[in-house]
Amino acid sequence: MQHQVSQCLLGANLTTEDQHSFFLEYWYDGSARSQSDWQQWLQHNQRLQVIARQAEWQTAAAANLAWQNTAFNAASNLRRHNLFA
């Protein structure tokens, strides 16, 4: 637990006699956005793209789309569940 958020890392490493190494890691980051957060973010962006087709709303929609990029700064990981092999 860090700042009331769970984080977990599990990993395995195997090195063969021929010196080939294999790594497998899974990590969970509770501070990253959830699947439902990403779905809402995507739906909002799709609505903004529809609004942006209307000339009088293009500037406002563009500014809101730019603001939407703050989702990438929410945590060090984009997803809560991650796998590396």
Residues composing the chain? 85
Q: Rounded to whole angstroms, how far apart are CA atoms 45 and 61? A: 9
- What's 72's DSSP letter? G
What pTM did the predictor assign? Answer: 0.61
pLDDT of 83 > 90? The answer is yes
pLDDT of 17 > 80? The answer is yes
- Three-state DSSP at 12 gives strand
For 36-60, write each residue's pLDDT tens digit: 988 988 898 888 888 778 877 878 8
- Full DSSP string of 25-64: EEEEETTSPPHHHHHHHHHHHHHHHHHHTSGGGHHHHHHH
